[in-house]
Structure 1
Amino acid sequence: MGKIVVSENVSLDGVIQDPTDEDSLGRGNWFTFIGGQDREEWTKVEFEEALGAEALLLGRRTYAWFVARGWASRSGQWADRLRNLPKYVVSSSPLDDPTWTNSTVLKGDVVGEVSKLRQQVDGDIVVYGSGRLVHTLVEHDLVDELRLMTYPIVVGAGERLFGETSGVKPMHLVDTRTVGDGLALLTYQSVRDA
């Protein structure tokens, strides 16, 4: 059975929106707040995560972000790994011709389609970005693990990782890791009723 792993870059105040200042949020490019050793260590962690993944699950906007930045044609080990992974895209608007190799559009009921995907894939199904999709997955208890790359900055505005839920969603901290000099990778697993 597959494991849904949400992997996010997040500010101290939980913001995931517009880390590269492309949505004109007006809060600067907080993703590039890090540099040097932090950036190198972040890259290593992200590449390790890609090597451990069996598939990617992306919302349409995040998928389009990757494609617009040339990930479909980039060279290098990280780009090659992402290109070769099966990619599943959740989209409520038409995406009839996905351009990134090994991409499949999941149509219909998101919860049902993701539940089926968990049965079909053996291993980590990594979700990058995809805020709306993550909200749905959390609400329906489909997230098995959260990996939060936490940036030492308070953004003060923007879409947060977690929105309202119909109930409490307990998590258990399973790992903390310092990445470079300024980042913290926090890993949580969902606590489900026995």
Structure 2
Amino acid sequence: MATIIAFESVTLDGVMQAPGRPDEDTRGGFEYGGWAAPYQDEVGARFAGEEMSRGGAMLFGRRTYDDLLGFWTTTPEPNPFTDALVNAPKYVVSRDRDIRLGYPNSTLLAGEASETVAQLRRTLDGPLTVLGSGKLVRALFGARLVDELVLQQYPLVLGTGTTLFGLTRVELDLQRTMPTTTGVIIAQYAVR
């Protein structure tokens, strides 16, 4: 059975919307896209590289799949993230059975996330990592399908935006923490 790992970037008030770029996700009039960029450092990059090198498959909501792969596959500079994202098996959850997936090694999981991901989890071995995909992650937590949570918590309060939390009660056991040089706290949790 696969181990589902949610890998998320959040502000101190739990906002996860558009950490990477100003135009990443402006839904709801969100104006603070790219909030994580000033906090990037070598410690965080090395940690992300370690997590990507774990191998295994990746799990995305459709919007995050299109955005993340669209960005990393058009980045002109060589980087380890592009190769890991393109080469890994990718599963994309969507209620729309007719969408076309534009990147190699991608499989559509059409239907309700709690059902399709539960079935996938039973058939795979190894890590199944979710990057971003807030709506999907909230559904997976609600269905008790997440085994591990990796939070990159940024020293920033936005006061607005889509948050990761607002879920049913979730109890976590802290496994490891790591501070970066810019004040980001990386915390790995096992979900009880």
TM-score (norm. length: structure 2): 0.89
Paired residue for 2:51? Answer: 49
> Where does structure 1 lack aligned partners over 5 or more consecutive residues?
none
Cα gap change, 1:120 to 1:73, in 2 (>3 Å): farther
Report how many aligned residue pairs link the two structures: 186
Shift of 1:69: 1.1
SS at match of 2:36: helix
SS at match of 2:144: coil
Counterpart residue type for residue 84 of structure 1: N
Counterpart residue type for residue 35 of structure 2: W
Q: 2:181 aligned with 1:180, yes or no?
A: yes
Paired residue for 2:68? Answer: 66
Aligned-pair identity (%): 37
1:104-139 deviation digits (Å, cap 9, x = unpaired): 010123222111211222111110110110110000
Runs of at least 4 residues off by over 2 Å: 70-78, 93-97
Please tell me whether the aligned partners of residues 72 and 81 of structure 2 are also in contact (alpha carbons under 8 angstroms).
no
TM-score (norm. length: structure 1): 0.88
Paired residue for 1:133? Answer: 136
Shift of 1:53: 3.1
Paired residue for 2:164? Answer: 161
Please tell me the root mean square deviation across aligned C-alpha atoms, in Å: 1.9
**Equivalent-residue separation in structure 2 for 1:95 and 1:70 (angstroms):** 24
**Equivalent-residue separation in structure 2 for 1:16 and 1:87 (angstroms):** 21
Paired residue for 1:120? Answer: 123
Paired residue for 2:38? Answer: 33
SS at match of 1:30: coil
> Where does structure 2 lack aligned partners over 5 or more consecutive residues?
none
**Equivalent-residue separation in structure 2 for 1:123 and 1:179 (angstroms):** 28
Q: 2:95 aligned with 1:100, yes or no?
A: no
**Equivalent-residue separation in structure 2 for 1:14 and 1:175 (angstroms):** 19
SS at match of 1:96: coil
Counterpart residue type for residue 25 of structure 1: F
Q: 2:151 aligned with 1:148, yes or no?
A: yes
**Equivalent-residue separation in structure 2 for 1:129 and 1:172 (angstroms):** 21
Identify which range, 19-28 or 68-77, moves more after superposition: 68-77
Shift of 1:28: 5.3
SS at match of 2:15: coil
1:63-85 deviation digits (Å, cap 9, x = unpaired): 01113314278643321122111
Please tell me whether the aligned partners of residues 10 and 154 of structure 2 are also in contact (alpha carbons under 8 angstroms).
yes
